[in-house]
Amino acid sequence: MGTDWPRAWFGFFLAVSTSASAAPLSFRAAITIAQERAPVVRAADRAASALTHAADVANPFLLMPAQLQLTAGARHFEGGIAPGFETQAQFQQPIPLRPVGSTRKQSMTAAQRFAAGRANEARHVVAERTAHAWLGVLFAEKTLLLHTRALDEARNITALARVRVAKGVASPNETALALADEAMAETEQLDAEGQLTEAKLALGSILGVDAASFTLDDHDAPIDTPCPTVDAALTVMRQTHPSVLRAHGHAESLAGDAAYIDALHGVSLGIGFVAARDGTGELLSSALVTIPFPWSTPGHADTLRVQSENDEAVAAHAFEADALTREVRVAIHDHEHTRATLAAARRAVTALQDAYRIARALVDRGASDLTIAALARQRLIAGEDRALHAEAQVFHGNVRLLAAQGVLSEAVTR
């Protein structure tokens, strides 16, 4: 994560808490703050940290606890001899004949990598969700601005229609049509206000702030993203995407668990000594070796169960990679397709602007009524709205392309 996140966090929330005016929130700061606040990321980070400590202590010098056995009693003699008091101490250290320590170390290390992978995946999911929510606010603001200007223009046309009718150069029909057009423009403007409120609530929920307390600073918006080749993007995805790495880590962790369980239930050799005092007062000592007989395999069922889960995890890893392969291909296609759509929409807007300007000029010269101008204005607003939607698709497509490769967090926080 980039080193500028504390400054982004502090500056944003200081502005929100100390000023009634809207605090600007950049694309990068929104993602960084959301990742720091997300409970799922915090929990995953704690789990990864705990397993790091477990991996460090997973291979102690003594792998199984030593055993000390104490016995005491009396030995009874024939012939009236007083019974003698006896004690015995037996110490034994089990030594596994299979590599329990190394397999446990490998299992814990794999589990730690899996936990770290889950944390990175959580951070990636939060970044993608926040990015789309931030863009939702950005284009809701642009849409509201567009329809606010359209409403102002509709009101100007209504005023012009009333003047024309009052002068007797137009029929009252023009005023009625202008009023209807103004009402429709107001409807679109109110809809845009509602969309902005919803978008701000969505982003505010992610960031944990009041939806009305911020505006956007779009200086670092994902305006353009270089488009890689399909092969290059798929290579990056397989090597870096958090979901792929998490799925691979899960399979690796289960494989380590299976090896550890198999070793743990293996036989052990016992080495120790015996010290005793018999009833006659003599002291005895001897070495002790316990030799196992591997007549049963009590851990075999558990090993098979974990191996089965490992097979499922391997299949899940392949499925995850296949699903992301489709995402990458679609994102690369959209990279070109959305830009072509935006270019066409902008050409349409340019032509519609010319048409509306000509229609207004004809009205001003008295060569036409307002009906044609109103129709041209309606089509212009629709074209501008479509171009704005196409621009939003380009921006969202940039995010999807970065996310499909698994490099969104790195791209926005470095």
Sorted by where each begins, the domain ranges of the chain are 5-64+99-265+300-413
C-alpha 39/C-alpha 47 separation (Å) is 12
Judged by average pLDDT, the poorest of 105-109, 143-147, 245-249, 394-398 is 105-109
Torsion of CA 252, 253, 258, 264, to 10 degrees: 130
Assign 387 a pLDDT band (cuts: 50, 70, 90): very high
Say whether pLDDT at 20 is over 60.
Answer: no
The answer to whether 150 and 188 are in contact (CB under 8 A) is: yes
C-alpha 374/C-alpha 177 separation (Å) is 8
At position 368, the amino acid (one-letter code) is: S
Higher-pLDDT residue of 352 and 168 is 352
Mean pLDDT along residues 377-399: 95
Assign 392 a pLDDT band (cuts: 50, 70, 90): very high
Percent of the chain having pLDDT more than 90? 36
Say whether pLDDT at 33 is over 60.
Answer: yes
C-alpha 183/C-alpha 73 separation (Å) is 105
Q: What are phi and psi of 178, to 5 degrees?
A: -65, -40
The pLDDT of residue 70: 87
- CATH number of 5-64+99-265+300-413: 1.20.1600.10, 1.10.4010.10, 3.20.20.60, 1.10.3720.10? 1.20.1600.10
Judged by average pLDDT, the poorest of 69-78, 337-346, 401-410 is 69-78
Say whether pLDDT at 221 is over 50.
Answer: yes
The answer to whether 174 and 371 are in contact (CB under 8 A) is: yes
Judged by average pLDDT, the poorest of 78-82, 197-201, 204-208, 242-246 is 78-82
Assign 347 a pLDDT band (cuts: 50, 70, 90): very high
The answer to whether 31 and 41 are in contact (CB under 8 A) is: no
Say whether pLDDT at 32 is over 80.
Answer: yes
Element (H or E) spanning 85, and its range?
strand 84-96
The answer to whether 274 and 90 are in contact (CB under 8 A) is: yes
Could you read off the pLDDT of 129-171 as tens digits, one per residue?
A: 999 999 999 999 999 999 999 999 999 999 988 998 898 888 8
The pLDDT of residue 59: 65
Say whether pLDDT at 190 is over 80.
Answer: yes
Using CB atoms within 10 Å of the CB of residue 166, give its burial: 0 to 12 exposed, 13 to 18 middle, 19+ buried. Answer: exposed
Say whether pLDDT at 4 is over 60.
Answer: no
The answer to whether 70 and 276 are in contact (CB under 8 A) is: no
Higher-pLDDT residue of 141 and 287 is 141
Judged by average pLDDT, the poorest of 12-26, 167-181, 228-242 is 12-26
The pLDDT of residue 63: 66
Assign 61 a pLDDT band (cuts: 50, 70, 90): low
The pLDDT of residue 16: 46
C-alpha 319/C-alpha 251 separation (Å) is 13
Q: Which residues contact 105 (CB under 8 A, 6 or more apart)?
A: 55, 58, 59
The pLDDT of residue 390: 96
Higher-pLDDT residue of 53 and 358 is 358
Mean pLDDT of the chain: 84
The answer to whether 53 and 111 are in contact (CB under 8 A) is: no
Closest-CA residue to 394 (of 189, 201, 208, 138)? 138
Mean pLDDT along residues 75-104: 76
Q: List, in sequence order, the alpha helices (H) in 208-241.
A: 230-240
Closest-CA residue to 95 (of 51, 52, 62, 128)? 62
